[in-house]
Amino acid sequence: MIRSLLFLLLGPLVITWAVAKPLNVLFIAADDMNCDLGAYGNPQVKTPHLDQLARAGVRFDRAYCQQPLCGPSRASLMTGLRPDTLNMHTLKHELRQKNPDVVTLGQLFKNNGYFSARAGKIYHYGNPSMIGTDGNDDPATWTERYNPAGIDKTREKDIINYGPNKGLGISMAWWDPVSEDEEHTDGMVASKIIELMKEHKDEPFFLAAGFFNPHCPYVAPRRYFDLYPLEEISIPDLNEGKADLEDVPPMAIQRDTRNWPYFFKGITVEQARKCKQAYYACNSFVDAQVGRLLSALEEHGLVENTLVVFWSDHGYFLGEKGLWYKRKAFERSARMPLIFSGPGITSGGTCKRTVELVDLYPTIADYAGLTPPGKLDGRSLRPLLTDPAAAWDKPAITQVWHSTKSYGYSIRTERWRYTEWMRGKAGRELYDHDKDPNEIHNLARNPEHKETIARLARRLKAFDHQPR
């Protein structure tokens, strides 16, 4: 009788304690990954594990970076502050120089008793030059950090480079060794996070897996290349690409004009096809590592108490409009994959609202019940993770910055992308995504859209913080 009474009295408390257990975070980053993924509706690209993650949670179809360049994009999402707020627009290692008191996302968790660790690339690293080092990492973010280096770093001489001999960090280069996943840096990253997951499964953790792929050079085990027969890889027509750029302000493609197409002088269509094959192979290689991480969560009974966030730092061109790489204000460069899965998140949800990487910090802190210090520039996505179709009137802002005399800001709503170069002095762009998802027809000079431009320009002005 006494035992029954104790059970009735203590049972609800036991349930309360289980619910109140701190939420773990598995934070998974890809480098330069666009939305050419099976999980985003591209049937050619095989990503079964990202498909699985999307079915378990919410996939954001209109997610955008703050700047399509690794350094400022990653610093922004790790602080919840825009590049202008941080005064960071380049690849320089200056987060703490310019923002000594900022509390980063991982640091927030560490300060609240979590084990915070990363393996691989979360902040900017030169790839492959900084693999195996701390790169531009922020030590205050982590309890522990790890920098594995695989054959993609130790055997750089075997990588085939089509471009000029100026290093591999910006290159049209690939390699398909007959190798095992764990011989590569990204395979080692996954293995280290799995090891840390096992070691710290009984305490709250924030674990960040920073994959270097599919950033160039495009290196993955050969079996991932074999998923994409070269004869099935197509490249957009160059004549159509050139026509697409005729109504674009010169500043929008100033980095690409000199050696158009494909960024480097002399690159052939066949070489571009080979690099695209290699990029797709790297996407599938990253997907396999994501699968290993998800399996480890299940093995250690952590699925029900872990928030999983998958993101890339920006999008990527693969020959569309004859362009390659990122650092442009077009959709292809500004948009990237973003998937959330975990307790309290809708399963199999697809969200069409415009969201930003700067929203990750407040969202993850919100789910963990942690209070960020000071005001953040992003907004918690929690309403959309509960109901992906919920009302949401927040645009996404992407900026491209080359110098104080060459920059642009772009605003994306669910229908429109509007871009100003040097506040319109160097040109404007307007694209109607309901009718023109590939941004072929610049409507900025069309008088029929004068009111739309004026309305979007007013909204954009609030985000332009360059000196006037």
Domains in the chain with CATH codes: 24-385 (3.40.720.10)
- Catalytic positions are 70, 124
Distances (CA, A) of 49 to 53, 283, 339: 6, 11, 12
Query: What 3-state DSSP class applies to 30?
Result: strand
In sequence order, the 6+-apart residues with CB closer than 8 A to the CB of 26 are 193, 197, 207, 209, 293, 297, 306, 307, 308, 309
The residue-averaged pLDDT of 337-342 equals: 98
Mean pLDDT of 410-414: 98
Alpha carbons 197 and 416: distance in angstroms, whole number: 42
Task: Take residue 212 and report the two structure tokens written for it.
Answer: 């270097």
Q: Say whether pLDDT at 163 is over 90.
A: no
Taking the C-alpha atoms of residue 210 and residue 283, their distance in angstroms, rounded to an integer, is 14
Residue 38, pLDDT > 60, answer yes
pLDDT per residue as tens digits for the range 306-336: 999 999 999 999 999 999 999 999 999 999 9
Residues 6+ apart with CB under 8 A from 16: none
| Region of 453 on the Ramachandran plot (φ > 0 left; ψ -120 to 50 alpha; else beta) | alpha
Per-chain mean pLDDT for the chain: 94
Residues belonging to the chain: 468
Q: How far is CA 161 from CA 31, 156, 167, 172, 191, in A?
A: 19, 10, 9, 6, 29
CB 135 within 8 A of CB 163: no
Amino acid symbol at 13: L
Q: pLDDT for 86-131, tens place per residue?
A: 999 999 999 999 999 999 999 999 999 999 999 999 999 999 999 9
Q: How many CA atoms lie within 13 A of 355 on its CB side?
A: 35
The whole-angstrom separation of Cα 40 and Cα 199 is 34
Distance CA 150, CA 316 (A): 24
| CA trace torsion 106, 107, 113, 114 (10° rounding) | 20
